[in-house]
Chains A and B, each alone.
Chain A
Amino acid sequence: MIIDLILLLFLVVSALAAVLMKDLLSTTVILGAYSLIMAIVWTRLNAVDVAFTEASVGAGITTMLIIAALSRTKRMEEDQRSEGIGRNSRRSEFRNFLLFIVAFVTCGILVYGTMDMPDYGDKNAPAQTHVAPRYIEKSYEEAGAINFVTAILANYRGYDTLGETTVIFTAGISVILLLRRKR
């Protein structure tokens, strides 16, 4: 219980640090750390497959791809406030206030939405009573994989995974079309 609170505290701190940092390389590394903490949170929730994906994709490859993109741009974030010193005044204050209201209300609605969710691990939750028993009991005979997350991804939801692979392939093709240097 206490470790969950510590992890969530770390999450909030690293998110704030990533937003406030001016050095984009540091921000990228902090986001990698954020993903790693998130992976630990998934493990605490017994979602090991998600944790594995978060650790390898979120903390690993995304960080490196952002660093690759950073190698083409500037490392430091430009300070936008310095431009508007003369005329900042009440207009930008009003804009900041509006932004705060929008963010606050959205946050409130999201928190309100979570109140209707079933408790963690509630055995009467719709997710546990509808298809989950079938997956747990039958997936080895029907789908041929002991790990039923794999059974769902590869067999029951095989079309989705095919679509997902096609999306990744399309991303690769788009990057080639947009960025490859002609010789």
Chain B
Amino acid sequence: MKDNIIVRTISRILIPFIQIYSLYVLAHGDLGPGGGFQGGVIIASSIILYVMVFGIEEGRKRVSEKTCDLLNPSGVLIYAGVGVAALLGGGVYLEYAALPIEPAHLASHLGIYGIEIGVFITVSAVMMTIFFETARHGDD
């Protein structure tokens, strides 16, 4: 699809909006439908759209293999880290209200944001990894 000017132009315009929408979905997970999982999937699909239009090599310039590999575990680590922080704050594992933030209601609010961000990072990185590794490259 590299030489189709309509597809290229439209996706160039659309991709930033898709990515901002995914951040909106992430940030509004506790107010309406959505959350880290859906937001991560949406931002990964914006990258996949980019790869489908401009090719894998061009996509790898934007999101390198190393970046994907680093993001893969860091989301899970953030999630587990929030749980450990709750332990250090004197609560049980993943008890957000025990996080060392006052008042407790704000603590549980921020705890939920923390784990949503963790889910967002891991889901988006894994979806991109699966697509990059599964799709056929030019050299095979």
Measured CB to CB, the residues of A under 8 A from B are 48-49, 51-53, 56-57, 60-61, 64-65, 68-69, 71-72, 141-147, 149-151, 153-155, 158-159, 161-162, 165-166, 168-169, 171-173, 175-176, 179-181
Contact = CB atoms under 8 A, between A and B. Distances in A.
Nearest to B126: A172
Main secondary structure of the interface of A (DSSP, over half): helix
Interface residues of B, number: 53
A68 B42 CA distance: 17
A165 B112 contact: no
Contact of B119 (A65, A143, A149, A161): A161
Nearest to A47: B33
Contact of A56 (B41, B112, B136): B41
B29 interface: yes
A163 B92 CA distance: 17
B41 A64 contact: no
A64 B122 CA distance: 18
A180 B133 contact: yes
B83 to A, nearest CB: 7
Main secondary structure of the interface of B (DSSP, over half): helix
B116 A61 contact: no
Contacts of B109: 144-145
Interface string B75-102: 1100110010000000001101100000
B122 A169 contact: yes
B72 A181 contact: no
A138 to B, nearest CB: 12
Given A145-B109, A165-B119, A175-B129, 16 more contacts: A61-B41, A61-B45, A65-B130, A68-B135, A72-B135, A144-B97, A147-B31, A149-B33, A154-B35, A155-B94, A155-B96, A165-B76, A169-B72, A169-B73, A172-B125, A172-B126
